[in-house]
Amino acid sequence: MKLAQGLNHTVLVSIPGFFGDDETRACTLVDVEDAGLWLACDELKDRIGQTHEISDVWNAPVIGFFPFAQILYVVDPSQIAALARRASARLARPTAPADTDVPGEHAPPVRRPKQKSPKARR
């Protein structure tokens, strides 16, 4: 999966260098650049708001750039759901019955009937 397919969707990220822990946070993936990701999340507003007095009445999402070197992981929950659906569909599909040989019990071999040679009739 390419990250760009998840634009404007929620992704789960861990950015210990910024948030100070390795907790997973839900953010909206705004853009992808060669060096990192542009993310919007409420916790970003809370974290920056404490030091820069961003007002509580600020309704727009706060968007920040995070270099890939700072990001521990990014998970797209919709891809996990898609993989789970594919796996369950694969399990639900009827399959050919497996050989149920019981040790010591074998079915007799299937033999073709012998064909008579045309020379034998003479």
Domains present along the chain, CATH in parentheses? 3-92 (2.30.30)
Q: How far apart, in whole angstroms, are the C-alpha atoms of residue 81 and residue 24?
A: 18
Closest among 70, 75, 61 to 30, alpha carbons compared: 61
Question: What is this structure's pTM?
Answer: 0.58
Closest among 40, 35, 34 to 7, alpha carbons compared: 40
Q: What is the pLDDT of residues 68-78, one digit of tens each?
A: 999 999 988 87
Q: How far apart, in whole angstroms, are the C-alpha atoms of residue 106 and residue 75?
A: 50
Q: What is the pLDDT of residues 41-99, one digit of tens each?
A: 888 777 766 555 665 666 677 889 999 999 999 988 876 655 556 666 666 665 555 55
